Structure 1
């Protein structure tokens, strides 16, 4: 019980610090960031409506005479109400609406691809580690090469070969916008289009990520197989498959589970480069657009969602880790 209380306290404090930093960032800009933002917005042809003024007040503080503490409390109040402001890039759309539209695409593509790469890497790494010293070890150099491949390079190669040269897959988009000009819909045809358009982006993530999981699991498997309890299990005459799964793999996978928690948290951020190459409408592309356009409201909202998702994923994986390995709870 003490372990869980300490972990909950730690993550609550971390969340408070992250939100506070998110509040302070626009105020730490040189000059008068509020007036600079308003001038830029007007130059772009925007209309300073009450809704937009509220969005600006959320970013930089509404009342110039209000203390920083009052602005801070107001910021927390609006966040708790789900008000993250209005985007200057996609004016007059609220930031919450933009994030809500982009988040399912990122979770569906990047999340599923990350889970697939983790499973393939863990299973493959456990098998290679169990068969250490045989021809199977030749997989290691290939996995190291895969781990070293940059996302953007692999994405461009896949597009060049399978989209441009062979024409097997589309180059951009999450679905066929010409067949579904009214937007997403619940139909098998639409699901098929999403899977078809998401194949190359998913392959980019899986190929780039599976090598790291495989190599890490293989090394942990080799280390675990030298432990006394594994040697004792083999001496008792237990079936090799039981030794490999119950005694070796179960213990070797623990560090990978901890690493998977961190990776799963960053799923929400998506792969910024991958989504940019394929023009995929996920959160990563939305974040890049906000940075390029100096859209502070959208930038802050995206950072906030990413921060919360990373903390939530790590907290969940710590709970799972503590359940799998009781020693963690005792040491916590």
Structure 2
């Protein structure tokens, strides 16, 4: 219980620090959303001071108030779930923008991350168990793809599979002409079809890292004394590989997977931009280019919560996977 409370306390402090940075970082950037909105209105005629005050109240960026008062007001709105109005997607609220784009990113990046992790762990386990096999010799090729920039790999796949052979669509999240959003097989099939190529890009570029890390940990674990003891007892090789070797070798990868899973919400901005995918990464890019404080803060908060939540979950999961951690707790 003491271990659990200490962990929760640590993450509460980390969340407060992240919220504080989330408040100040956009305000240190040049420009502000009020001036952006006024410049758009000024194209149709002069803007009165009353209009400026009304826009500041609407966007929740009262520059006349002291910074500490803005900070307290920001924390209060965060606790109530009020993130303000988006400038980039005006007049939509930040909550509506996040709610509209977040499922796309979780569906694409989340599934691709899980697939690459599971595939990398299984292949790395086999490569470490059978050193010198063709699978082990394949690792340098997979790690080469990890060093390739996302946008370059995405463009290559888009050229061959989308343009030359026309196996997959070039952009979008679903077929807007023949399907409508809903829980039916036509829409789900269209989403899977449009998301296959972006997901393939993520899997190809990330599976090599998981595979290499798991392979190296398997090689290190197989030299431990308890593996030799298990072999001396006459246990089956499959049981030694999975129960004794892989269970201990996978521990560092689990921590890395938690971080990757937390950053799923951030999305792969470059991948989403290349494929014109309607995810939260594209929304974040649009918010930064428009100096949209409210939307940036809302997206950063969701990213922070996802990263902290994933790490807390893995810290607690460690107590189940590794008995040594449970003993120290």
Please, what TM-score do these two structures have when normalized by structure 1?
0.91
Cα deviations by residue, 1:89-121 (Å, 9 ceiling, x for unpaired): 111000110000000000011100100000000
Please name the residue that 1:6 is paired with.
6
Shift of residue 218, structure 1, vs aligned partner: 0.3
Higher alpha-carbon deviation: 39-48 or 147-156: 39-48
Q: Secondary structure at the match of 1:267?
A: coil
1:247 matches 2:244:
yes
- Mapping of residues 88-127 of structure 1, within 5 Å: 88-127=87-126
Aligned mates of 2:89, 2:68 — CA distance in 1: 30
The answer (yes or no) to whether the contact 1:41–1:88 under 8 Å persists in 2 is no
Higher alpha-carbon deviation: 110-119 or 74-83: 74-83
Aligned mates of 1:188, 1:177 — CA distance in 2: 15
Please name the residue that 1:156 is paired with.
155
The answer (yes or no) to whether the contact 1:126–1:221 under 8 Å persists in 2 is yes
Higher alpha-carbon deviation: 246-255 or 149-158: 149-158
Please name the residue that 1:312 is paired with.
309
Aligned mates of 1:26, 1:149 — CA distance in 2: 31
Q: Secondary structure at the match of 1:304?
A: helix
The answer (yes or no) to whether the contact 2:32–2:292 under 8 Å persists in 1 is no
Aligned mates of 2:255, 2:43 — CA distance in 1: 46
Q: Secondary structure at the match of 1:105?
A: helix
Please name the residue that 2:57 is paired with.
54
The answer (yes or no) to whether the contact 1:86–1:95 under 8 Å persists in 2 is yes
Higher alpha-carbon deviation: 310-319 or 119-128: 310-319
Please name the residue that 1:171 is paired with.
170
Aligned mates of 1:51, 1:270 — CA distance in 2: 34
Distance 1:40 1:9, change over 3 A: farther
Please, what TM-score do these two structures have when normalized by structure 2?
0.92
Cα deviations by residue, 1:219-259 (Å, 9 ceiling, x for unpaired): 00000000000011001111101100110001000100010
Q: Name stretches of at least 5 consecutive residues in structure 1 with no aligned partner.
A: none
Shift of residue 3, structure 1, vs aligned partner: 2.0
The answer (yes or no) to whether the contact 1:27–1:60 under 8 Å persists in 2 is no
The answer (yes or no) to whether the contact 1:126–1:249 under 8 Å persists in 2 is yes
Aligned mates of 1:150, 1:29 — CA distance in 2: 27
1:128 matches 2:127:
yes
- Mapping of residues 184-223 of structure 1, within 5 Å: 184-223=181-220
Aligned pair count reads 325
The answer (yes or no) to whether the contact 2:33–2:293 under 8 Å persists in 1 is no
Cα deviations by residue, 1:283-312 (Å, 9 ceiling, x for unpaired): 111111111122221112111111111111
Aligned mates of 2:172, 2:29 — CA distance in 1: 35
The answer (yes or no) to whether the contact 1:3–1:330 under 8 Å persists in 2 is no
Q: Name stretches of at least 5 consecutive residues in structure 2 with no aligned partner.
A: none
Distance 1:130 1:267, change over 3 A: same
Cα deviations by residue, 1:3-39 (Å, 9 ceiling, x for unpaired): 2222111110010011112222344456x84764553
The answer (yes or no) to whether the contact 1:265–1:314 under 8 Å persists in 2 is yes
Distance 1:133 1:284, change over 3 A: same
The answer (yes or no) to whether the contact 1:106–1:267 under 8 Å persists in 2 is yes
